Structure 1
């Protein structure tokens, strides 16, 4: 086995509550992560010279700052392996979209290279490494829809409904840091139990970042208002993507086709198990 081509799936935050702010500036939260079948694709080819090489660079992002390069080098250091890899990313998920694309790419790098290099790390060990790259990386490493607390790293696997989602990207990129620094951000939502969250529906299934993001980014507010005419709709993460759930594919595709100037629209199926883990038999 010298090359693996693997998916890096997106996620949606079915709810996102900000419950506090720690002394180090990080926010505590509660969220429901759902994996969807909208994916980047990452090809990993083993090298004997120990080099980590990125084939297709991201404009404006230095290789040393690229999450998949950082993930590969992190795993090299942790394992002590002398192996290297050539990394080729086919990017479909928008940057700054709230779909977790960069974190998922990093997780696929860790899980994929662990298999390619035959290192034998457990998913728990890989998730611990991934946390240093970003709070969303562990959920993609574990590869299951999850209830999350803390800064998003305290995960409990859950089984959610699996509707068809229309996901709309209004064509803007959101600064997560700016949203979390905004003085009007709700930071004191009362914590709820996982059982209550899983019951679904308003008022629990909301995104506390939504009001701030809509004020800062009018295009997102417009897309969210339009999608809400078809079904209850929310922001995912800090955006920019908004989404709504539908019971059948036909309705979802009809709504996506009508998005027009509101943004690029995808139809994705909700999942509970990551296609990455299906591909590797994890």
Structure 2
């Protein structure tokens, strides 16, 4: 790497080990509780500094929307910092869209962290997280850089030390728009909230590995997208458990904490489905790219 370029910048996906909705704010935003865990299914970004202030994105794999979160993050940081620099941003997109895995938010977070370094801004993690929240509720988690108990609309993070685990992840061909899930009458919005201290004492880390809680978004997602039910059934039969992540449509199964997973993914997934046997990460690969 040089002062002008940053290459092979990782943007890992996340999974929700559980997801409860515990209320709403006055502005209508839902209050959630969840545990987010980073996994090694990731996009890769490359950055080159420009002196002319322009921001350009180059899609190395699947074409992305013209104004994606990555470009919006770059514009927001350029405006907030007042820098005269710009950047060429190239994206090797691997995390599927509409999966509930936070791919776009992770790209935005890695963009903020990378440009903070590339443009010599010296912003703190806290300042980047505040800017990230204006882009999306999941962005602060990725900037925070640690697996976490997540509250509020996604901005209240309590880091958790979780053992590395295997997670079989499969996304069907269909994606799901989050707005459809939140509009569903099947969405439960009245889960009893856990206090993080009590959660760690009463539930404990082992209970997370054993499948604590539920994902309240799964019933409306299955109603919206029958493929979610099919994926869940395939993984349940293979691993003895399954759960959707986020607002879907990806589903995962816990596959052990040893050196090898308890089983392999089926080799005959239907056309259009994508799956990987993933490992959880202890921390974000860019964790050291911002000061605490």
Q: Which of the five TM-score ranges fits, normalised by the shorter chain? A: over 0.9
The alignment yields a C-alpha RMSD, in angstroms, of: 1.9
**Which residue in the other structure is 2:106 paired with?**
104
C-alpha deviation, 1:135, in angstroms:
0.2
| SS of structure 1 residue aligned to 2:126 | helix
Gap regions ≥5 residues in structure 1: none
CA deviations 1:186-215 (Å, max 9, x no partner) are: 000000122245442578431111111112
Aligned match of 1:167 in 165, 169, 177? 169
CA deviations 1:28-69 (Å, max 9, x no partner) are: 00000101111100101100001001122864722xx21111
CA deviations 1:76-128 (Å, max 9, x no partner) are: 11111001100100000001111100000000000000011110000110000
| SS of structure 2 residue aligned to 1:260 | coil
**Structure 2: how far apart are the matches of 1:238 and 1:165?**
18
Give the TM-score, by structure 2 length.
0.90
Runs of 4+ in structure 1 over 3 Å off: 57-60, 196-199, 201-204, 248-252
**Which residue in the other structure is 2:219 paired with?**
211
**Which residue in the other structure is 2:92 paired with?**
90
**Structure 2: how far apart are the matches of 1:242 and 1:104?**
18
Q: Equivalences for 1:171-250 in 2 at 5 Å?
A: 171-194=173-196, 195=200, 196-199=202-205, 200=207, 204-229=212-237, 230-247=239-256, 248=258, 250=260
C-alpha deviation, 1:258, in angstroms:
3.4
| SS of structure 2 residue aligned to 1:68 | helix
| SS of structure 2 residue aligned to 1:88 | strand
CA deviations 1:234-277 (Å, max 9, x no partner) are: 1100111100111246445x531435228211011111201222
**Structure 1: how far apart are the matches of 2:82 and 2:203?**
42
Contact residue 257 and residue 265 of structure 1 kept, 8 A: no
**Which residue in the other structure is 1:35 paired with?**
38
**Which residue in the other structure is 1:61 paired with?**
65
Give the TM-score, by structure 1 length.
0.93
**Structure 2: how far apart are the matches of 1:121 and 1:259?**
47
C-alpha deviation, 1:140, in angstroms:
0.3
Contact residue 9 and residue 276 of structure 1 kept, 8 A: no
Deviates more, 1:242-251 or 1:38-47: 242-251
| Cα distance change on mapping 1:60 and 1:100 into 2, 3 Å | closer
Aligned match of 1:268 in 275, 278, 286? 278
- Aligned residue pairs total 278
| Cα distance change on mapping 1:221 and 1:8 into 2, 3 Å | same
